Amino acid sequence: MRTTVVQMSPGHDKAANLAQAERLCEAAIAEDRPDIIALPEIWTCLGGTREDKFASAEVLPKPGSNEPAGEAYGFLQNLARRHHIHVHGGSIGERAGEKLANTTVVFDPRGAEIARYRKIHLFDITAPDGKEYKESATYARGEEIVTYEANGTRVGCAICYDVRFPELFLKLRQAGAELIFLPAAFTLQTGKDHWETLIRARAIETQCWFAAPACCGPHTEGSGGVRYSYGHSLIADPWGHTVAKASDGIGFTTARIENEVTLRVRADMPVLEHRVLA
């Protein structure tokens, strides 16, 4: 299954972000002809004020309903339908009462929604440079483990900060995952030291492929300060090798997910069967 991860540099202008996503996705599909394409975390509105985030967020239709869809949801759905591919929508802001949810939606080649995942672990930390992040001030945490099937491959859902919690990925492996998507907007400070190391570790532990589309470059916060996302979107195999990585700046990269590699790695080192402290 040819898998493409898209690297974006979004800000808090939703219309500009949608235009950037469309340009990159259309170019990636034309050049690399993927079976599934994925966008980064919260690509519709990165930075800005709390009000900006709420203004860009969407009320998602109930799966299978004919309820009207927002611009980002409609873009992802139409992209899948028009090109007859699976689209893993990174994550977008979902209106969920007084707070938002950081939500992944996935569409099959008919444009039908087949998965919806809300980020479980929220980024409430102080970075090495002293900057504070309080995701829980705007977003509510999700609760459900989510997988879906795409072209005969069982796919697991995670988002960004989730990568630091291996128990989530064990549960995805136990649920049958062979490929895990990790859309992200990793900070520059944490990304340069931890991004690739954590992804490769989770790939080795779970013996799953990892596809990690990421945001890159600067964005402006509501306070007026500028923060930077690390980028370096990548795809890793179940042995922990990085098999594709995006260059600096916006773009995309593609790799072929090979199920025979997964089977061989798991047969040679059956760590799930050997697990004692599950």
- CA distance linking residue 120 with residue 101, whole number of Å: 10
The CA-atom distances, in angstroms, between 104 and each of 110, 145, 150, 187 are: 18, 12, 15, 20
The two tokens of residue 11 are: 């800000």
Among 58, 119, 157, 216, the one annotated catalytic: 119
Half-sphere exposure of 3 (CA within 13 A, CB side): 29
**CB 238 within 8 Å of CB 252:** no
119 noted as active-site residue: yes
45 noted as active-site residue: no
Across 29-63, b (16+ Cβ under 10 Å) vs e yields beeeebbbbbbbbbbbbbbbeeebbeebbbebbee
Among 157, 160, 215, 216, the one annotated catalytic: 160
* Dihedrals phi, psi of 142, to nearest 5 degrees: -85, 175
157 noted as active-site residue: no
Residue with tokens 């992804």: 199
Catalytically annotated residues = 41, 119, 160
